[in-house]
């Protein structure tokens, strides 16, 4: 799921079968990718640990704000690690095999609003969930997409990832000005597998 080919975007749904056949399709073009987009856990819509309400010592996620010019850039993806407590900081300092680079929180979440805001309920969720229970994944994914979603998915297919990233950054910068985040963070390079 979400396999990387040449770079971290776009990701692919990839399966190799016992008979040697391979299924490979862009993740967001699959029914599973659509389900991933519209069907979150109910607790994700009311997450009490977003923003400054974190209780863990560390939090690990995708560094969607990483850019090619950054010293920690890796075209296979970059993770971000937030140390929220002294215990978390000491743990990271003692963990072998991780290269840490300082960064600021705003850059780290520039394109990943899920770190600071709860997931919004998709207007298609209820219809998808009902159809999924009745007729399965493929039927539900094909019958519950609104025209807006069809257009968004089309844009994902035709607009190059670099342009989408640029647009996402602009959108997130506006959101962050309205509700600025704050925290301590470090970027950690993901090892390509």
Say if residues 188 and 99 touch (Cβ distance below 8 Å). Answer: yes
The pLDDT of residue 118 is above 50: yes
pLDDT at 100: 87
Q: Measured between alpha carbons, how far is 40 from 37 in angstroms, rounded to an integer? A: 8
Boundaries of every domain in the chain: 3-189
The pLDDT of residue 140 is above 70: yes
The pLDDT of residue 175 is above 70: no
Q: Label residue 183 by pLDDT band (50, 70, 90).
A: very low
Q: Measured between alpha carbons, how far is 117 from 179 in angstroms, rounded to an integer? A: 10
115 versus 175: the higher-pLDDT residue is 115
Q: Measured between alpha carbons, how far is 88 from 94 in angstroms, rounded to an integer? A: 10
Buried b (16+ CB within 10 A) or exposed e, 113-150: bbbbebeeebebbebbbebbeeeebeebbeebbeeebe
Mean pLDDT over 183-190 rounds to 44
123 versus 6: the higher-pLDDT residue is 123
The secondary structure of residue 97, as a DSSP letter, is T
The pLDDT of residue 52 is above 90: no
| Percent with pLDDT over 90 in the chain | 24
End-to-end CA distance of the chain: 13
The packing angle between helices 31-38 and 125-135, to 10°, is 130
Mean pLDDT over 138-153 rounds to 91
pLDDT at 163: 81
The pLDDT of residue 185 is above 70: no
pLDDT at 141: 94
The pLDDT of residue 25 is above 80: yes
């Amino acid at each position: 799921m979400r396999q990387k080919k040449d770079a971290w975007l776009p990701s692919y749904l990839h399966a190799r079968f016992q008979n040697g056949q391979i299924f490979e399709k862009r993740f967001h073009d699959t029914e599973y990718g659509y389900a991933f987009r519209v069907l979150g856990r109910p607790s994700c819509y009311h997450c009490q640990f977003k923003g400054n309400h974190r209780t863990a010592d560390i939090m690990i996620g995708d560094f969607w704000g990483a850019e090619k010019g950054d010293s920690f850039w890796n075209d296979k993806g970059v993770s971000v690690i937030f140390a929220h407590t002294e215990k978390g900081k000491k743990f990271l300092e003692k963990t072998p095999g991780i290269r840490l680079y300082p960064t600021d929180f705003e850059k780290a979440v520039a394109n990943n609003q899920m770190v600071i805001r709860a997931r919004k309920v998709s207007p298609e969720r209820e219809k998808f969930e009902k159809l999924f229970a009745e007729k399965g994944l493929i039927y539900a994914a094909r019958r519950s997409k609104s025209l807006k979603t069809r257009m968004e998915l089309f844009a994902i297919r035709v607009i190059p990832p670099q342009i989408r990233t640029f647009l996402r950054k602009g959108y997130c910068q506006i959101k962050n000005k309205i509700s600025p985040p704050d925290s301590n963070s470090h970027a950690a390079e993901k090892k390509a597998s």
